[in-house]
Chain A
Amino acid sequence: MSEQKGYQLTHLQQLEAESIFIMREVAAQFGKPALLFSGGKDSIVMVRLAQKAFWPAKLPFPLVHVDTGHNFDETIQFRDDLANDVGGDLVVASVQEEIDAGRAKEETGPNPSRNRLQIPALLNAIEKNQYDACLGGARRDEEKARAKERFFSHRNSFGEWDPKNQRPELWNLFNGKMDFGEHFRIFPLSNWTEMDVWQYIKLEDIPLPSIYFSHEREFVRRNGVLLGKCEHITLLDGEQWESGNVRCRTVGDMTCTGMVESVANNVDDIIEEVAAARQTERGGRADDKRSETAMEDRKKEGYF
């Protein structure tokens, strides 16, 4: 990383050191951890940090991807390549299988979201594989319910989060003790902002899926959000497909990931764009717009 001044670390070095510390705590405190990998930039940064934490050994946990079946093709390809590169095990939890097995029910409507359906798929994967800690790339600056999330976030045996009864976290001391059947969600990037993540991607020269960069795509404008054309989205009256240069600020399902009109096609341009942005990155997420506490409600049920 960059030059230091005396015995002083830069903010990115401090964030990196903190995240690496958390990852090593997870390896040490838990029996069967897993890294939840979405294919988004945050989870790609997580993989880089994990490589740093355990170098020259391999990652002591598998990458677990909850595949909604509505992912961008680019995400899936990137996921497979990355898993291959780091030599990590890849476990795919399929939402389609949950639907086929009758444990989850598809939403209906013009953009049926499979966002909530990730919850049973994830919880089943945790139960089946007996993961006791799941590392996630969520950040506190993303959303107001996440602003109060702990690094070590306790989940009861139903996978539920109890925001009013969280364990205090002081200094560098993290308490991962739990009863059988419970688990933890761990968020090493808690203190990172969107800007920090992009700066780190630049500094470390981390490759990203192409959908983060400007490309030409057909899309529809819906509730102030641009949704990319795909088989899962049906046009409503008065809507029409448009075409233009767009890119994703976050990567989720095609049915809920809004794009922004942008010509930024490299990390420097994106950093400029993030610095000038007047909307939060989740501003384009239709899933957060469903109600004021949509994120908190999903998290309580076991969402990421």
Chain B
Amino acid sequence: MSTDTKGYLDMDLLRFTTAGSVDDGKSTLIGRLLYDCKSIFEDQWEAVEQSSKQRGDENVNLALLTDGLRSEREQGITIDVAYRYFATPKRKFIIADTPGHIQYTRNMVTGASTANLAIILIDARNGVIEQTCRHSFIASLLQIQHIVVCINKMDLVDWSEDRFNELVEQYKEFASRLDVPHIDFIPISALLGDNVVDRSKNMDWYKGSPLLYTLETVYIGNEHNHVDARFPVQWVIRPHSDEYHDFRGYAGRVAGGVFKPGDEITVLPSGFQSRIKGVHDIGGALEEAYAPMSVSLTLEDEIDISRGDMIVKQNNPPESSQQIEAMLVWFSSDASLVERGRYTIRHTTNEAKCLLKEMKYKVDINTLHKIEDDREVRLNDIARVSLQTSAPIHFDRYRRNRATGSFVLVDEQSNNTVAAGMIVG
């Protein structure tokens, strides 16, 4: 944890995801990062030590740090996304730690949806296996820009450079089919700490950085779209006070681009045009706002705007349509996706009814092959679909903007979130 009380004003934030099962060393790796960055406290450590003893574990079981729910501790598995936090003087980190088995695809997708980076673990003895492919595909599908492939348990293959190179080639061959711009490879031993925080003394041949240094320095300035101005209106602020009698602020979080006073804007879906009068936070007027800032905008003209509307720049509108093509991840164990099924779609701050017009194919997430003969979309399935909405949705493709290209489907009977979608067109 940072002891530099001045530096924290400049720290940025990296969210990363890890996925894996108990035996591939994921928990050990996270435990190692937390422990070496002094983010495990004495009382946590004592509690885990004691529980490990009670369970009859030989060593301190680091998985118990993340597996907090009673049923998880009883069954010795992670069943949900666990969020963990640590910081170095350079960055604050949020880990979304998810189980790696295929029945937890939805948890992996959830963890990946807000991540800047994914750590993929490969056991140096086993090489690229089904689970490696699955995690990588999910990272690619969710448009995570960086993957760090940690080849773990190097101590068990005699710290062999040849074996490392062989596995790098194996992974690269598979990854050529993915859509991930940056992939790094690091040989590590999570158990012994080699190349996790400190450089390994056992692998002089590796000239790259240890994992923590990579996490601290990876470039994340391009995570948000700063080109296409998008402002989904969340809430309208009307103070009704004497001092701010005429104040009408449109509150929201910038989903893309930059907004400045004087900008000419259009409000969707009405098409009304106006100019930005002010960009506000509590302190008063700001010079500009960009993603992911939460601000409020005031306009020169009094026009009718409410939650769900989107403020955009006049010369650069998003696509507006009632027909959406998307990749869908199905989340519900109670119900399968049905063609002609009706759901509520939540997209930005907007909501509409929607009809599932067509299920085109499913994707085998281990091989990336299309499945066209099995038509039923069940829990954890990923499918390409066409949706029809009751009102136009103002979107960008997910590849271009995660905030305006994503949506969830809500079942109207159970109120549950049953699917997550990424718009492809």
Contact = CB atoms under 8 A, between A and B. Distances in A.
A52 B249 CA distance: 13
Contact of B346 (A24, A27, A166, A173): A173
Given A7-B224, A280-B44, A163 B91 contact: no
A278 B224 CA distance: 36
A147 B83 CA distance: 5
B247 A296 contact: no
Contacts of A167: 416-417
Interface string A129-153: 0000000000011011111100000
A101 interface: no
A268 B240 CA distance: 39
Interface in B149-184: none
Nearest to A87: B241
A11 B253 CA distance: 16
Contact of A144 (B1, B68, B92, B224): B68
A301 to B, nearest CB: 13
Contact of B292 (A17, A169, A195, A278): A17
Nearest to B412: A177
B238 interface: yes
B280 to A, nearest CB: 7
Given A7-B224, A9-B292, A140 B5 contact: no
Interface stretch (A35-43, A91-99, A230-238, A269-277): A269-277
A: contact size bracket = 35 or more
Interface in B50-100: 51, 65-71, 73, 79-85, 87, 91-92, 94
B234 to A, nearest CB: 5
A2 B3 CA distance: 19
Nearest to A176: B415
A172 B403 contact: yes
Interface in B91-141: 91-92, 94, 106-107, 109-110, 113-114
A258 B348 CA distance: 43
A2 B283 CA distance: 13
Given A11-B13, A27-B235, A56-B247, A272 B5 contact: yes
Contacts, number: 207
Contacts of B106: 168
A31 to B, nearest CB: 14
A70 B235 CA distance: 38
A290 to B, nearest CB: 13
Nearest to A284: B43
B307 A296 contact: no
Given A170-B109, A173-B408, A6 B221 contact: yes
A226 B221 CA distance: 46
Contacts of B290: 7
Interface in B202-253: 220-221, 224, 226, 234-235, 237-241, 243-244, 247, 249, 251-253
Contacts of A254: none
A179 B41 contact: no
A27 B84 CA distance: 28
A196 B87 CA distance: 10
8 contacts: A12-B8, A12-B11, A55-B281, A163-B71, A170-B420, A173-B407, A191-B85, A193-B92
Interface of A: 2-3, 5-18, 20-21, 24-25, 27-28, 51-58, 140-141, 143-148, 163-164, 166-173, 175, 177-179, 190-191, 193, 195-196, 199, 203, 268, 271-272, 274-280, 283, 292-293, 296-297
